[in-house]
């Protein structure tokens, strides 16, 4: 496969931080070069992974970027394992927001029952409404028939009681990106569920280890990190800290499960942002700064869609992720990395303060007539 290097100096300039960070993640051992590339292809839809792009750059461009060329991708770390089929039963999902409903749809469409833990009956009903509309769209596009739609809905049940998730193979929390909120949620689940049930976080920017103090020592904990829109994007980052008991078995069960629900798993170390968000979110911040320097929103987006083949412009992507989520992720990563590039750009703070959180509020950098 031939990978095209970025088409212009302007494109390379805005991608520089991402490419440098990718080389850094490989150097730190966060993930293999192949998994870094798979992560960005399947988690962000990039036409080529950053290590592949670095390899395709002319030597003079690489010298200008001042990165050591990392080893060539040599294959993924995730291989077929004997534990396939360890988690074939019901799955718990905690939360009713955009990520939660995408995960519910992805899992339920794979044939597994899903038990959703909602805060209130109203938020549970909202999740079911959003799920129904998404399935309607799949039916109207011929991707699902009416009977299949009903089967998916029949597999999803909602409870407001953490103990209602008893009997699930794994529970995935997808609540607000706030450590206090996540800590309270995993603490409540830990108190309500048998200690053998693994608790997974879908965090954008915390480490699994940041949540460990809030659960009992014997409970398996991990991250199963999905990407927005979760029913569409193929990647799941599987993160099991090495000091979790029986870490290898847990990793194997989780990666097999991710494959069985139709996703591609990669593995990475337990560091803030894992692979995709550690690369993508600071890059989105760079794009916001480029806009702040006077480049119109549409031009910033076109630079990357037309110049680098990205499926969405970075500012449209911030709108999809949510400006509040983007700021929270940047702040969480900035707290542990001394890099001024990661501090949220002022325009992000200003738009959040004005209530423009992205698609979910009808507008962010762009305006939307309707949210999907």
Q: Is residue 137 near ligand 3HC by the rule CB under 6 A?
A: yes
Q: Which phi-psi region, left, alpha or beta, contains residue 238 (left: φ > 0; alpha: ψ -120 to 50)?
A: beta
Q: Is residue 216 near ligand 3HC by the rule CB under 6 A?
A: no
Q: Is residue 320 near ligand 3HC by the rule CB under 6 A?
A: yes
Q: Is residue 335 near ligand 3HC by the rule CB under 6 A?
A: no
The residue from 55, 204, 271, 332 that contacts ligand 3HC (CB under 6 A) is 204
Distance CA 240, CA 83 (A): 16
User: How many chain residues interact with ligand 3HC (CB under 6 A)?
Assistant: 21
Helices 297-308, 276-292: crossing angle, 10 deg rounding: 130
Whole-number minimum distance, CB 303 to ligand 3HC, in Å? 16
Token pair of 151 as six digits: 């089967």
The residue from 107, 279, 280, 328 that contacts ligand 3HC (CB under 6 A) is 280
Q: Is residue 139 near ligand 3HC by the rule CB under 6 A?
A: no
The residue from 113, 132, 148, 229 that contacts ligand 3HC (CB under 6 A) is 229
Residues from 60 through 119 that contact ligand 3HC (CB under 6 A): none
Phi/psi at 92 (5° precision): -95, 140
The residue from 69, 119, 133, 372 that contacts ligand 3HC (CB under 6 A) is 372
Q: Which is nearer to ligand 3HC, 62 or 267 (CB)?
A: 267
Whole-number minimum distance, CB 282 to ligand 3HC, in Å? 12
Distance CA 148, CA 217 (A): 41
Q: Is residue 302 near ligand 3HC by the rule CB under 6 A?
A: no
The residue from 19, 25, 44, 67 that contacts ligand 3HC (CB under 6 A) is 44
Cα angle 113, 132, 225; round to 5? 55
The residue from 84, 179, 312, 347 that contacts ligand 3HC (CB under 6 A) is 312
> What is the distance in angstroms between the CA of the first residue and the CA of the last residue of the chain?
34
Q: Which is nearer to ligand 3HC, 70 or 358 (CB)?
A: 358
Q: Is residue 277 near ligand 3HC by the rule CB under 6 A?
A: yes
Q: Is residue 347 near ligand 3HC by the rule CB under 6 A?
A: no
Q: Which is nearer to ligand 3HC, 26 or 281 (CB)?
A: 281
Under a CB-based contact definition with an 8 Å cutoff, are residues 312 and 361 in contact?
A: no
The residue from 74, 141, 147, 338 that contacts ligand 3HC (CB under 6 A) is 141
Largest CA distance in the chain: 60
The residue from 228, 255, 271, 285 that contacts ligand 3HC (CB under 6 A) is 228
Residues within the interface to ligand 3HC (CB under 6 A): 43-45, 137, 141, 143, 204, 227-229, 232-233, 277, 280, 311-312, 317, 320-321, 325, 372
């Amino acid at each position: 496969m031939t990978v095209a290097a970025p088409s212009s100096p302007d494109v390379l300039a805005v991608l520089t931080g991402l490419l440098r960070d990718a080389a850094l993640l490989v150097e730190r051992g966060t993930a293999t070069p192949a998994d870094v590339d798979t992560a960005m292809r399947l988690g962000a839809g990039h036409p080529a992974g950053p290590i592949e792009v670095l390899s395709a750059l002319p030597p003079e461009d690489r010298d200008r970027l001042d990165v050591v060329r990392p080893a060539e991708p040599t294959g993924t770390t995730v291989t077929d394992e004997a534990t396939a089929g360890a988690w074939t039963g019901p799955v718990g999902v905690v939360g009713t927001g955009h990520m939660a409903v995408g995960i519910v749809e992805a899992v339920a469409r794979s044939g597994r029952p899903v038990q959703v833990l909602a805060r209130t009956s109203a938020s549970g009903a909202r999740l079911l409404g959003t799920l129904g509309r998404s399935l309607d769209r799949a039916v109207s596009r011929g991707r699902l028939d009416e009977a299949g739609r009903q089967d998916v809905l029949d597999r999803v049940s909602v409870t407001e009681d953490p103990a209602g998730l008893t009997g699930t193979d794994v529970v995935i929390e997808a609540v607000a990106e706030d450590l206090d909120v996540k800590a309270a949620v995993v603490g409540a689940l830990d108190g309500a569920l048998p200690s053998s049930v693994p608790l997974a976080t879908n965090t954008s920017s915390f480490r699994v280890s940041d949540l460990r103090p809030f659960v009992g020592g014997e409970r398996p904990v991990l991250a199963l990190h999905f990407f927005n829109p979760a029913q569409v994007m193929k990647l799941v980052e599987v993160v099991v800290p090495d000091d979790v008991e029986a870490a290898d078995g847990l990793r194997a069960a989780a990666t097999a499960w991710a494959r069985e629900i139709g996703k591609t798993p990669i593995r990475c170390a337990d560091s803030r942002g894992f692979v995709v968000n550690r690369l993508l979110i600071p890059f989105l911040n760079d794009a916001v700064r480029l806009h702040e320097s006077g480049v119109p929103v549409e031009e910033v987006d076109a630079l990357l869609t037309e110049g680098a083949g990205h499926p969405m412009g970075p500012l449209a992507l911030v709108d999809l992720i949510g400006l509040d989520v983007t700021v929270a992720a940047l702040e969480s990563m900035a707290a542990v990395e001394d890099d001024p590039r990661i501090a949220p750009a002022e325009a992000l703070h200003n738009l959040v303060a004005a209530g423009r959180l992205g698609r979910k509020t009808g507008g962010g950098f762009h305006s939307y007539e309707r949210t999907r």
